[in-house]
Amino acid sequence: MKFIGSGKVKDVYDMEDGTLLFKFSDRVSAYDVKFHDPIPHKGEALTKFAEFWFEKLPVKNHFVKSVSKNEIIVKKMQMIPVECVVRGYFYGSLISRWNAGEIVIPEGSKTEIAAKLPKPIFDPTTKSEHDEPINKKIALERKLVTEDEYNFLESKSLEIYDTMYGIADAAGFILADLKLEFGKLDGVITLGDSIGPDEYRMWPKETYVVGKIQESYDKQILRDWLTANGYQKQFDDARKAGKEPIAPSIPPEIIQKMSSRYVDSYKLISGKTL
């Protein structure tokens, strides 16, 4: 087994037999900043969610098996350099980008925060330290994918979002948006990486109200705290000055709230406990 590297959340090892070991940690990141404070049970929840979604979705994927409470084995793939984002609600960065005229949303869309879009939109980004929104024209110009590959990624991502939306809805949640990654396995485009609360926004239906910040069962809790306390602006200002942003300590109450929601959301979505 050969250590490949550490991402924001997981450590990756090459099993040297055509598979990789993903070891999920309790680390957390937000706004592309890594934090020092761990979120208890987060790694275990992400492991269980990855297993649940890969086995639930009727889509070819690279999942092989779980091997411990925070480790899974997956098939090694040639990853496609595009993050496939699907947005079903007017929320997050979509708002500022729409206000800046950087993205077109479906005709008839309500532009109140957290309003449901008339139909979900495919809103991909680059895969880098700081993801950059792109569209079909840019993806083709940069030769990130072929036209056929782009069309497949768009249709398959929207299909997966619809399936996951229905499962979340039955469990009492709204799936607001979703990030997926794909690769090529034996020449076939295949769903990869992992799927869990770090890859989507999920809100409880019982507290959903258009026009306000939503209760969140994902790491949006941390993002909201950072924004409310001016840290998001500090991060942006540091990057503009060519400096690396410094992560603050996360308050104990935010850590506890995040930990509970990772655990609770898995129980509600899957019907199982960690």
- Whether residue 218 has pLDDT greater than 90: no
Helix (H) or strand (E) holding 86: strand 78-90
- Whether residue 182 has pLDDT greater than 90: yes
Tens digit of each residue's pLDDT (9 = 90 or more) over 100-120? 999 999 999 999 999 999 999
Among positive and negative, which fits the CA dihedral 221, 224, 228, 231?
positive
- Whether residue 214 has pLDDT greater than 90: yes
Q: Average pLDDT in the 136-146 region?
A: 97
Q: Average pLDDT in the 194-214 region?
A: 95
Flag the least confident range among 29-33, 47-51, 58-62: 29-33
- Whether residue 23 has pLDDT greater than 80: yes
Provide the strand spans (E) within 200-271: 200-204
Average pLDDT for the chain: 95
- Whether residue 133 has pLDDT greater than 70: yes
Give the chain's length.
274
Q: Average pLDDT in the 131-137 region?
A: 94
pLDDT grade, residue 61 (50/70/90)? Answer: very high
Burial (CB < 10 A; 0-12, 13-18, 19+), residue 81, is: middle
Q: Say which residue, 129 or 246, is predicted with more confidence.
A: 246
Question: What is the pLDDT at residue 146?
Answer: 98
Give the separation between CA 124 and CA 189, rounded to whole angstroms: 16
pLDDT grade, residue 129 (50/70/90)? Answer: low
| Domains and their CATH numbers in the chain | 2-75 (3.30.200.20), 78-270 (3.30.470.20)
Q: Average pLDDT in the 144-156 region?
A: 98
Question: What is the pLDDT at residue 172?
Answer: 97
pLDDT grade, residue 32 (50/70/90)? Answer: confident
